[in-house]
Structure 1
Amino acid sequence: MREDKFLGLGLTFDDVLLAPAHSEVLPAEADTATRLTRAISLAIPILSAAMDTVTEARLAIAIAREGGLGIVHRNLSIKDQVAEVDKVKRSESGMIVEPVTLPPDAPVREALAVMERYRVS
């Protein structure tokens, strides 16, 4: 007997349309919080796709600042995955906890290399 892998209704973006209408609920009063696991709750029910063309540190930071969760893709080496997660953690609260610095006598090529590595200007 064949076990059916697909149960229930599946929808895509083209299947759903939200029509604007009057609401008694003010946007500031709407609660979009959700629980991902027993230990992890999110302010907004948004998770990014763990795809190499979608989520690295930049998107993960933006989503985290809004209350969601960015899932860094696995097509990086473990070292590079750790570096991406570190960038996200370092951006917490929008404040740079451990700034990257150079000594005053560092050559411009070193500054350019650091800027490229950390994607800063």
Structure 2
Amino acid sequence: MALMDFTVRTEPDPPRVTVQADALSDTNLTLKVVHLDLSAIRLLPTNEGALAAWLPATGLANLATSALRRSFENRTFEVPLGQLLGASFPAGDTEVRVRLDRPELGSHQGMLMISGTASVS
């Protein structure tokens, strides 16, 4: 057991993250963190050493809450797609490949929409 041991809780648990699809390429989806719903980080002491340091640790946890929100909100992250957007299927003795070229992000009735030009080979 550690000299000081805490259990960490967040409010809400787990924190909720709102992201926005920002850009799309053949290989990556760029997401922007629009909002991080994190109102509090609570450190609960689980041993005597932690109980002695509980007040300063609580102050640091309060500072960490707003620092984490500032650190993540409005930040973008690249999500690798792992493969090109497309599909393939057999047609008789031939494999047909359909690929989305120049993908673009949009929305339709509140839903994410990906459009572009299809290439068939």
Smaller-chain TM-score bracket: under 0.3
Bigger Rg, structure 1 or 2? 2
The structure showing larger relative contact order (alpha-carbon pairs under 8 Å, at least 6 residues apart) is 2
More strand as a share of residues:
2
More helix as a share of residues:
1
| TM-score, scaled to structure 2 | 0.22
| TM-score, scaled to structure 1 | 0.22
